[in-house]
Amino acid sequence: MNTHYFIALPIQPHLRKTLLEIQMKTRLALFKHIVYPEDFHITVAFLGVADEEQLTKLQEGLQKMAQFMEPFKLEVEGLNYFGLEDQPRVLYADVKRSDQLDKLHEDIVRICQLAGFSLKEREYSPHVTLAKKWHDPTKKIQLNWPTLNCECQEVSSVTLYQVAPGETPRYKGVATYEFTTK
C-alpha cells in the first residue's frame, strides 16, 4: 500500500478534550470509524501519494511560507455532517471560515501545486472529523447530537502528516512548520 500524506492544523489539547466529550455523548456505534482524539485535525490539503522530490519541494515551500505567516485564532462551533441526514457519511465539528484561514489554505494549495501535486478542486470546507463511514445501511440516526459551543484555538503552525493505516494514532506528523511572524 502506498503512503498518503496531507497538510493539517493540529488540534490543541483543550479543544481535543471538548471534542472527545462530544464523541462520548453521541451515538457513534453506527459509524465504522470513530476518530481517535490524537488524530483530530483540520485538513488544509490532502496530497495522496508523494515521491521524495515532491515532498522535498513541498517542505521547502511550507518552511518559507511559515516565516511570513502570523498566528491567528479560529473558532469551532456546532456539529454537522456530510451525506444523508439520517445516515451521515461523516460527522464533524464545524470550523468557522475566516480571512486568515482562507489565505492559509490558498497559500498551501499554491505550494502543493508548485511541488507537483494535483489537488482535487472543491470548495474548502474546514472541519474536524469525529466519526466516518456509516456502518449499517438498515439503521438511521436521530439528529439529537449534543451542542458544541464555540471554542477558540490559536493557529501557529501547520503539520505535514503521513497516514499509517492500522495504527493508533493513525496520523503521524512528519514535520511541523511554526509561524514566525508575530
Q: What is the pLDDT of residues 42-80, one digit of tens each?
A: 999 999 999 999 999 999 999 999 999 999 999 999 999
Nearest of 107, 101, 118, 116 to residue 65 by alpha carbon? 107
CATH fold label, 4-178: Cyclic Phosphodiesterase; Chain: A, (3.90.1140)
pLDDT digit string, tens, across residues 89-118 = 999 999 999 999 999 999 999 999 999 998
Residues linked to residue 88 through DSSP beta bridges, in sequence order: 83
Range 132-148 average pLDDT: 79
- Under DSSP, the state recorded for 38 is G
Q: Which helix (H) or strand (E) holds 5?
A: strand 4-10
How many angstroms separate the Cα of 51 from the Cα of each of 5, 48, 56, 57? 10, 10, 9, 10
* The residue type at 161: Y
User: β-strands 171-178, 127-134: how paired?
Assistant: unpaired
pLDDT score for 2: 76
* pLDDT, averaged across the chain: 91
pLDDT score for 181: 67
4, 14, 33, 41: which is the annotated catalytic residue?
41
Query: Is 41 in the active site?
Result: yes
Query: Is 33 in the active site?
Result: no
14, 33, 105, 127: which is the annotated catalytic residue?
127
